[in-house]
């Protein structure tokens, strides 16, 4: 079969190809898997630290539920081979036992209201006194299955903190299977 086309048709095909290629490149660059806002999985740790430094004020007052306040710290960024692999944030202040229980419940409600699916929870996930320390407390997966969010309390006596860790979903599964 023979195709005949005019020079204008060829230019139109080139433009379509250019736009298709541009769209694909933008999609690939834009599909970097986000851990939290502008922090992306496997981004160079140097860039992540600079991003943390540049946004330090806005990253100290994060809410994941009614009455909760979480903050990034200097040690929030976790890297492997100089690439960002996870983010740890924790309650902005020390909490008493009653406040820690409220943080856990309100944060769970927040994630579930934002379509995160709870995939694991200890029987007593809401009570720092009863959480088994050698097991995860509660885990969620985002609707697109790109992010695992883990929430857990730490502390004793009258002082507690609630930690939230963000992981890349695929990396987390490979790590859990012992592939990394």
Give the model confidence (pLDDT) of 121-131 as tens digits.
Answer: 999 999 999 99
Residue tagged 């509660």 (tokens): 138
Quote the pLDDT of residue 15. 47
Q: Write out the residue range of the structural domain in which residue 80 sits.
A: 34-176
pLDDT at 7: 53
In a domain, 12, yes or no: no
Q: Is the pTM of this model over 0.75?
A: yes
> Residue 134's pLDDT is what?
87
Is 117 part of any domain? Answer: yes
Confirm whether 29 is domain-assigned. no
Would residue 9 count as lying in a domain?
no
In a domain, 16, yes or no: no
State the chain's mean pLDDT as an integer.
86
> What Rg do the C-alpha atoms of the chain give, in angstroms?
22
Residue at 137 is within a domain: yes
Is residue 125 assigned to a domain? Answer: yes
- How many structural domains compose the chain? 1
Buried/exposed 38-68: b ≥16 CB within 10 Å, e otherwise? ebbbbbebeebeebbeeeeeebeebebbeeb
């Amino acid at each position: 079969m023979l195709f005949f086309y005019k020079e204008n048709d060829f230019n139109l095909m080139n433009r379509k190809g250019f736009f298709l290629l541009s769209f694909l490149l933008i999609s690939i660059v834009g599909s970097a898997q986000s851990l939290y806002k502008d922090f992306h999985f496997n981004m160079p740790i140097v860039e992540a630290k600079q991003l943390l430094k540049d946004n330090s004020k806005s990253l100290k007052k994060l809410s994941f539920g009614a009455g909760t306040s979480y903050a990034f710290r200097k040690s929030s960024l976790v890297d492997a081979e100089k690439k960002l692999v996870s983010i740890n944030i924790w309650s902005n202040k020390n909490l008493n036992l009653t406040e820690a229980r409220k943080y856990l419940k309100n944060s769970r409600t927040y994630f579930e209201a934002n379509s995160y699916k709870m995939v694991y929870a200890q029987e007593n996930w809401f009570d720092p006194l009863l959480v088994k320390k050698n097991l995860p407390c509660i885990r969620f997966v985002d609707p697109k299955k790109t992010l695992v969010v883990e929430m857990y309390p730490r502390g004793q006596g009258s002082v507690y903190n609630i930690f939230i860790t963000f992981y890349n979903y695929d990396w987390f599964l490979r790590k859990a299977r012992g592939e990394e």
